[in-house]
């Protein structure tokens, strides 16, 4: 049936090329035209080719409607094929699930190990900072200068700055951080100072405090005192920012003495 419904390529396969004479001429006159060369024939052929697919589809729909068994057979075959594919894919899916569970368990173990190492690292860092603080007191450097040095040391332990930097270089590196910049803006505004002047003090802060401090004189009950009698307004503002951005753990206790006499 489908072979019968397939559109012909050309009607010329079924038609012979004949000789057609003009009605007023004799049989000896040469042929004027053939059917396949006529415009009417080409138009008819084009319409037939366009119409054939529609007729074929319509007839197939009629046949399918009259033969529900064919549709049922097709559905059953489709269901059997689906079951076959599912049975073929099931072992692969099972292996994939086992592999995913293995990865999940491995990631969980890895996360637990990382947390353990982080806690261990924090304990080591806290112990190192505590030891460094004890040394500052014993060596008579528990003051503003010693505090800045330990801040840089802690930043190196936290990998905020490279370990090869000196103390002033470390302070400069910290001063370019987002946390310092935010705290500096608030401090400058509160003290009504010029930002550039305070930053100029930051760039030579360790040199300044090295000249102005000696021993543990600027401490009271383990509180480091920033005295107005030793440091200018801009220098005290810079020191205040560094003390305020300390880590909450192991932070130095400090206060500012604005008395020019330097009394506690």
Is residue 209 assigned to a domain?
Answer: yes
Backbone angles phi, psi at 35, to 5 degrees: -65, -40
Q: Which sign does the torsion angle of CA 57, 63, 66, 68 carry? A: negative
* Beta strand pairing call for 219-220 and 223-227: antiparallel
Q: Lowest-confidence range among 37-46, 94-103, 190-199, 239-248?
A: 37-46
pLDDT of 202: 96
Is residue 197 assigned to a domain?
Answer: yes
pLDDT of 121: 74
In the chain, the number of structural domains is 2
Cβ atoms of 187 and 241 closer than 8 Å: yes
Is residue 111 assigned to a domain?
Answer: no
* Beta bridge partner(s), residue 254: 224
249 in the same domain as 127: yes
Mean pLDDT of 98-110: 81
Mean pLDDT of 11-28: 46
Q: Work out the angle at residue 184's Cα, subtended by the Cα atoms of residues 152 and 172, and round it to the nearest 5 degrees.
A: 35
pLDDT of 97: 82
Cβ atoms of 255 and 226 closer than 8 Å: yes
132 in the same domain as 253: yes
131 in the same domain as 39: no
Tell me which residue range forms the domain holding 59: 2-21+33-66
Residue 8 CB contacts under 8 Å (≥ 6 apart), including other chains:
14, 48
Running DSSP on this structure, what letter comes out for residue 143?
S
For residues 113 and 19, which has the higher predicted lDDT (pLDDT)? 113
Cβ atoms of 172 and 202 closer than 8 Å: yes
52 in the same domain as 129: no
Is residue 262 assigned to a domain?
Answer: no
245 in the same domain as 160: yes
Q: Lowest-confidence range among 87-91, 97-101, 125-129, 145-149?
A: 87-91
43 in the same domain as 145: no
Is residue 79 assigned to a domain?
Answer: no
Cβ atoms of 258 and 239 closer than 8 Å: no
174 in the same domain as 48: no
Cβ atoms of 71 and 64 closer than 8 Å: yes
Is residue 98 assigned to a domain?
Answer: no
252 in the same domain as 174: yes
Token code pair at residue 222: 């383990």
Backbone angles phi, psi at 22, to 5 degrees: -65, 145
59 in the same domain as 128: no
What span, in angstroms and rounded, lies between the C-alpha atoms of 185 and 194? Answer: 10
Mean pLDDT of 116-127: 74
pLDDT of 154: 92
Q: Lowest-confidence range among 38-47, 108-117, 181-190, 207-216?
A: 38-47
Residue 201 CB contacts under 8 Å (≥ 6 apart), including other chains:
208, 232, 234, 235, 237, 238
pLDDT of 247: 76
Is residue 130 assigned to a domain?
Answer: yes
Q: At what angle do helices 205-212 and 167-175 cross, to 10 degrees?
A: 130
Is residue 11 assigned to a domain?
Answer: yes
Cβ atoms of 175 and 205 closer than 8 Å: no
């Amino acid at each position: 049936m489908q072979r019968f419904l397939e559109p012909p390529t050309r009607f010329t396969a079924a038609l012979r090329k004949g000789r057609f004479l003009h009605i007023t001429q004799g049989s000896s006159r040469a042929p004027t035209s053939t059917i396949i060369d006529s415009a009417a024939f080409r138009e008819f052929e084009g319409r037939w080719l366009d119409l054939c697919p529609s007729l074929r589809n319509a007839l197939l729909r009629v046949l399918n409607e009259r033969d529900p068994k064919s549709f049922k057979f097709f559905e059953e075959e489709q269901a059997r094929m689906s079951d076959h594919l599912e049975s073929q894919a099931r072992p692969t899916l099972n292996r994939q699930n086992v592999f995913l569970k293995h990865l999940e368990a491995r990631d969980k173990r890895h996360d637990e190990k990382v947390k353990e190492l982080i806690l261990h690292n924090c304990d080591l860092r806290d112990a190192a900072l505590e030891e460094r603080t004890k040394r500052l007191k014993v060596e008579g450097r528990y003051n503003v200068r010693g505090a800045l040095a330990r801040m840089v040391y802690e930043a190196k332990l936290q990998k905020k700055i490279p370990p090869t930097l000196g103390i002033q270089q470390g302070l400069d590196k910290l001063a370019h951080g987002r946390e310092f910049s935010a705290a500096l803006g608030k401090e400058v505004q509160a003290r009504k100072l010029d930002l550039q002047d305070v930053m100029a003090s930051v760039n030579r802060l360790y040199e300044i405090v090295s000249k102005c401090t000696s021993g543990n004189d600027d401490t009271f009950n383990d509180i480091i005192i920033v005295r107005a009698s030793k440091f200018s307004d801009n220098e005290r503002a810079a020191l205040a920012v560094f003390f305020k951005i300390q880590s909450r753990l192991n932070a130095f206790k400090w206060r500012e003495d604005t008395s020019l006499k330097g009394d506690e």
